[in-house]
Structure 1
Amino acid sequence: MTGILGIELRRSSALLAGAVTAVLGVAGLYVLGFTGQTALWDQQWSLLAVFQRIMLVLLWPLALAAGAWQAGRDRRDRIEELLGTTPAPDRRRLWPGALAAALSLAAGYLLVLAAGSAKVATAAGHPGTGWWAVTAVGALALAAAGLLGLGVGRLLPYAYTPAVLGVGSLAGLLAAIELTRFGDPGKPGAALLLPYFTSTISDFQTVDGAVSAGQAWWFGGLAAGGLVLFLASNRLVRLLAVVPPALGLALATPMLTVPAFPIDPAAVAEVCTTDSGPKVCVTAAHSRRLPTLVGPAREALLLLAKLPNAPVSVHEAAPGAGRPQPATEAWLDPDNLGSTELTARILAGAGTPICVSNEDDDYLEVLRARAITAAWLHGSHPAPGTVLTTEEQTHRDTMWTALVALPTAEQERRITAVRAAGLDCGDQAAALGIGAGR
Structure 2
Amino acid sequence: MTGLRIELRRSTALWAGLLVLVSGTGMLLLITSASSRWTANSTSAVLELRLPLAYVWALVVGLAVLQGMRDSRARVTELFTATSRPGWVRLGTLASAVAGVVAVAGALLCAGLVATVAFGGGFVSIGFVPLMVTAVLALASSVLLGLAVGRFLPHPLTVPVALVATFMVATSAGRALEVQSPGDEISRLALLTPVLDPPDSDLVTTSTAVDLGQIVWFTGLGVTAFLLLVARTHLGRLASLVPAGLAVVLALSIMPVKYSEVLVTDSIAGKLVCDGEVCLSQVHAVSLPVVAPVGRDVLAKLSVLPDAPSEVREDTSAMAHLTAPQRDRRIVYVQSQGFPRPLSMTGDQLRLELLAGAGIAGCAGPNTFDTSGGVVRYVTAGYFNGELAELASEPLMWNNSRLRGDVDEAWRQFRGQPAQEQLNRVVQARQMLLACEDSERVLDVLKASR
For normalisation by structure 1, the TM-score amounts to 0.86
Q: Return the alpha-carbon distance in structure 1 between the equivalents of residues 126 and 414 of structure 2.
A: 46
Q: 2:289 aligns with which of 283, 288, 291?
A: 291
**1:399-420 alpha-carbon deviations (Å, 9 max, x no partner):** 1122122222222222232333
Contact 2:227 2:240 survives alignment (8 Å):
yes
Q: Return the alpha-carbon distance in structure 1 between the equivalents of residues 235 and 106 of structure 2.
A: 34
Contact 1:289 1:337 survives alignment (8 Å):
yes
Contact 2:151 2:229 survives alignment (8 Å):
yes
Are 1:76 and 2:83 matched, yes or no?
A: no
Q: Which amino acid aligns with 1:418?
A: A
Alignment CA distance shift 1:50-1:162 (3 Å): same
Q: Return the alpha-carbon distance in structure 1 between the equivalents of residues 225 and 122 of structure 2.
A: 38
Structural RMSD (CA): 3.0
Q: 1:270 aligns with which of 272, 283, 286?
A: 272
Contact 1:370 1:428 survives alignment (8 Å):
no
Aligned ranges 1:15-414 → 2 under 5 Å: 15-32=14-31, 35-39=33-37, 41-121=38-118, 122=120, 124-125=122-123, 127=125, 129=127, 131-181=128-178, 187-197=186-196, 199-200=198-199, 202-257=201-256, 259-273=261-275, 279-307=277-305, 310-319=308-317, 325-327=328-330, 329-335=331-337, 336-340=342-346, 341-357=349-365, 363-383=370-390, 385=392, 386-388=394-396, 389-414=400-425
**1:167-216 alpha-carbon deviations (Å, 9 max, x no partner):** 12212332333344358667542221223235548544442223222222
Q: Return the alpha-carbon distance in structure 2 between the equivalents of residues 266 and 230 of structure 1.
A: 41
Alignment CA distance shift 1:384-1:54 (3 Å): closer
What's the % identity of the aligned pairs? 30
Could you tell me how far 1:306 is from its partner in structure 2? 4.9
Q: Return the alpha-carbon distance in structure 1 between the equivalents of residues 448 and 72 of structure 2.
A: 76
Alignment CA distance shift 1:178-1:283 (3 Å): closer
| Larger displacement relative to structure 2 (154-163 or 350-359) | 350-359
Contact 2:173 2:195 survives alignment (8 Å):
no
Equivalences, count: 427
Contact 2:209 2:256 survives alignment (8 Å):
no
Could you tell me how far 1:85 is from its partner in structure 2? 4.2
**1:6-28 alpha-carbon deviations (Å, 9 max, x no partner):** 22112211111111111111122
For normalisation by structure 2, the TM-score amounts to 0.84
Could you tell me how far 1:124 is from its partner in structure 2? 4.2
**1:12-63 alpha-carbon deviations (Å, 9 max, x no partner):** 1111111111111112222356x32421x22323322322223322122212
Contact 1:50 1:200 survives alignment (8 Å):
no
Q: Which amino acid aligns with 1:4?
A: G
**Unaligned segments of structure 1, at least 5 residues:** none
Q: Return the alpha-carbon distance in structure 2 between the equivalents of residues 330 and 175 of structure 1.
A: 40
| Larger displacement relative to structure 2 (135-144 or 230-239) | 230-239
Contact 1:374 1:383 survives alignment (8 Å):
no
Q: Return the alpha-carbon distance in structure 2 between the equivalents of residues 373 and 349 of structure 1.
A: 5
Could you tell me how far 1:273 is from its partner in structure 2? 0.9
Any idea what SS the aligned residue of 1:109 has?
helix
Q: Which amino acid aligns with 2:243?
A: P
Contact 1:128 1:267 survives alignment (8 Å):
no
Contact 1:414 1:431 survives alignment (8 Å):
no
Could you tell me how far 1:350 is from its partner in structure 2? 1.4
Any idea what SS the aligned residue of 1:107 has?
helix
Q: Which amino acid aligns with 2:388?
A: H
Could you tell me how far 1:222 is from its partner in structure 2? 1.2
Q: Return the alpha-carbon distance in structure 2 between the equivalents of residues 319 and 372 of structure 1.
A: 27
Alignment CA distance shift 1:76-1:151 (3 Å): same
Contact 1:61 1:145 survives alignment (8 Å):
no
Q: Return the alpha-carbon distance in structure 1 between the equivalents of residues 379 and 169 of structure 2.
A: 51
Contact 2:204 2:318 survives alignment (8 Å):
no
Contact 1:404 1:411 survives alignment (8 Å):
yes
**Unaligned segments of structure 2, at least 5 residues:** 320-325
Partner of 1:7: 6
Contact 1:188 1:260 survives alignment (8 Å):
no
Could you tell me how far 1:302 is from its partner in structure 2? 4.2
Contact 2:210 2:256 survives alignment (8 Å):
no
